């Protein structure tokens, strides 16, 4: 094998005209590299949009272009959507489904998607959003790690004339073009209704989600709308309410475990999501109390649906991810085309929400459903999970 030094020496001895044509050839090859859109970590890269199979990201990686996209007319312009995801939560089943649906729908509408997975928290997410701005994205869609700390970089994106959609988590303190999610207060109300239906009198533990996510506070507000009257009447005693720093199974396991070490005198537990519910139920199982204390969560994770039919989890809140993902992709494409002068009608929002920016945010909110053992078929009929998967452990036990 020739050494790098000898190859360099040979290159330098080539005639000037040959060197010129060699450089042109290399530059042309680089410009013709494939573009699409997923990267993670600190090395930006792209794959073709929508190439996600069974919840996994797949595709051939190619170097991201180093310069801006060529200028095209509005009619010819190939739309590129930047999708920034706080990957501290990406391991949760929920986000895998969102990403698969969104990228697939965007591709069907003719848009490319660059997806950035920020495993390093808010600082890495800000850095990756700055990277996507340099790729001349036409619109930014964001699942924020911290809905307040991200406001600064979102303001920069807006100042650059790029529309922004907050996905699932309402970013605070900066005007947004749209917010798309579910009604988190209604999710909290569904928690409360399920628990009061099963345990109208008793001792409650509430384990809220991440303090960095405004949804956690909205869920808590909705929950308290339902259970506070019962608390005031003396029917329910709220023994303890805690907050997590992250949407983390391990953090929940540690904090709930510490509570259980002090006392197991609870009749009902409200958990911020199904991962947190899973940690609570694991701890209850270790104490042979699973199924004896009512536990609720949200997201209709497969493991949660399995626990419901097994009788260890009372309820999960099902969110039709297919609807929100498709709706978000269509909204992103419409807003981006409008920026480029397209004659596009933006659908009217379901609500206008206040994000403390001085401008009300057009919000598109899908409805959620409380799933119990008696209506578990809803997640199966929607194709969210298969019957065999949901009842796998039950059938094995039989």
What is this structure's pTM? 0.76
- C-alpha distances (whole Å) from 269 to each of 199, 316, 393 are 10, 12, 23
- Average pLDDT of span 41-64: 32
The full set of domains in the chain, from first to last, is: 38-67+74-182+321-366 (3.40.50.2300), 184-320+369-397 (3.40.50.2300)
Instruction: Provide CB contacts within 8 A for 131, sequence distance 6+.
Output: 44, 116
Q: Please tell me the number of Cα atoms within 13 Å of 378 on its side-chain side.
A: 16
Task: Determine contact, residues 37/49, Cβ cutoff 8 Å.
Answer: yes
Q: What does the pLDDT read at residue 88?
A: 55
By mean pLDDT, which of 19-23, 305-309, 387-391 is the weakest? 19-23
DSSP state, residue 178? E
Helix and strand element counts for the chain (H, E): 14, 18
| pLDDT band at 65; cut points 50, 70, 90 | very low
Give the model's confidence band at 253: pLDDT under 50 very low, under 70 low, under 90 confident, else very high. Answer: very high
Residue 16: the pLDDT is 45
Q: Give the C-alpha distances (Å, rounded to integers) separating 24 from 11, 17, 107, 180, 249.
A: 15, 11, 32, 46, 53
Could you give the percent of the chain with pLDDT greater than 70?
A: 78
Contacts of 31 (CB under 8 A, 6+ apart): 65
Average pLDDT, rounded, for the chain: 83
**120-128, long-range: CB within 8 Å, 24+ apart, which pairs?**
121/86, 121/88, 121/145, 121/146, 122/86, 122/146, 122/149, 122/150, 122/212, 124/42, 125/84, 125/86, 125/150, 126/150, 126/152, 126/153, 128/44, 128/84
In eight-state DSSP terms, residue 349 is: P
Least reliable range by pLDDT among 22-31, 184-193, 267-276, 341-350:
22-31
Of residues 244, 382, 364, 300, the one with CA closest to residue 92:
300
Collapsing DSSP states into helix, strand and coil, what is residue 376? Answer: coil
Cβ count within 10 A of residue 67 = 10
Asked if residue 11 has pLDDT above 80, the reply is no
- What are all long-range contacts of 153-161, with beta carbons under 8 Å and residues at least 24 apart? 153/126, 153/129, 154/129, 156/130, 157/129, 157/133, 160/133, 161/339
DSSP letter string, 242-295: EEESSS-HHHHHHHHHHHHHH----SEEEESSHHHHHHHHHHHHHTT-TTTSEE
- Segment 256-262 shows an average pLDDT of 98
- What per-residue confidence (pLDDT) applies to 14? 44
195 contacts 294 by C-beta, under 8 angstroms: yes
CA distance 113 to 231: 48
| Strand (E) or helix (H) holding 366 | strand 361-366
Q: What is the pLDDT of residue 27?
A: 36
Predicted confidence band of residue 377 (pLDDT cuts 50, 70, 90): very high
Three-state DSSP at 319 gives coil
pLDDT at 202 over 70: yes
CA dist 267 and 185 (Å) reads 23
Residues 6 or more apart whose Cβ sits within 8 Å of residue 138 = 77, 79, 80, 81, 162, 163, 336, 339, 340
State the angle between helix axes of 249-262 and 274-286 in degrees (0 to 180), rounded to the nearest 10: 40
Comparison of pLDDT for 226 and 60, the residue scoring more: 226
107-149 pLDDT per residue, tens: 999 999 999 988 778 999 999 999 999 999 999 999 999 999 9
Q: How confident is the model at residue 12 (pLDDT cuts 50, 70, 90)?
A: very low
The pLDDT of residue 265 is 97
């Amino acid at each position: 094998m020739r050494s790098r030094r000898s190859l360099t020496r040979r290159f330098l001895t080539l005639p000037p005209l040959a060197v010129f044509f060699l450089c042109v050839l290399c530059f042309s090859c680089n410009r013709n590299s494939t573009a699409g859109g997923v990267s993670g970590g600190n090395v930006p890269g792209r794959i073709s949009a929508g190439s996600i199979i069974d919840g996994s990201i797949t595709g051939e990686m190619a170097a991201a272009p180093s310069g801006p996209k060529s200028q095209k007319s509005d009619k010819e312009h190939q739309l590129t959507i930047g999708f920034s995801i706080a990957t501290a939560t990406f391991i949760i089943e929920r986000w895998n489904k969102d990403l698969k649906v969104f990228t697939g729908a965007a591709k069907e509408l003719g848009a490319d998607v660059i997806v950035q997975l920020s495993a390093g928290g808010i600082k890495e997410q800000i850095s990756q959003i700055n990277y996507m701005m340099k790729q001349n994205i036409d619109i930014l869609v964001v699942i924020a790690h911290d809905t307040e700390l991200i406001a600064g970089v979102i303001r920069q994106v807006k100042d650059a004339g790029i529309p922004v959609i907050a996905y699932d988590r309402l970013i605070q303190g900066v005007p947004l073009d749209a917010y798309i999610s579910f009604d988190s207060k209604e999710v909290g109300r569904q928690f409360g209704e399920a628990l009061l239906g099963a345990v109208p009198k008793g001792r409650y533990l509430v384990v809220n989600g991440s303090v960095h996510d405004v949804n956690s506070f909205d869920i808590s507000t909705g929950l308290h709308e339902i259970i506070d009257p019962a608390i005031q009447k003396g029917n329910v005693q709220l023994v303890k309410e805690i907050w997590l720093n992250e949407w983390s199974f391990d953090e929940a396991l540690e904090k709930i475990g510490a509570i259980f070490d002090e006392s197991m005198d609870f009749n009902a537990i409200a958990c911020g999501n199904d991962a947190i519910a899973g940690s609570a139920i694991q701890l209850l199982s270790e104490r042979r109390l699973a199924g004896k204390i009512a536990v609720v969560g949200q997201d209709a994770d497969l493991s949660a649906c399995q626990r419901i039919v097994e009788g260890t989890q009372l309820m999960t809140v099902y969110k039709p991810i297919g609807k929100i993902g498709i709706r978000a992709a269509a909204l992103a494409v419409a807003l981006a085309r409008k920026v480029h002068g397209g004659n596009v009608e933006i659908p009217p929002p379901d609500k206008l929400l206040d994000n403390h920016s001085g401008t009300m945010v057009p919000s598109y909110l899908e409805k959620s459903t409380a799933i119990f053992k008696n209506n578990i078929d809803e997640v199966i009929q929607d194709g969210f999970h298969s019957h065999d998967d949901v009842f796998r452990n039950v059938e094995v036990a039989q």
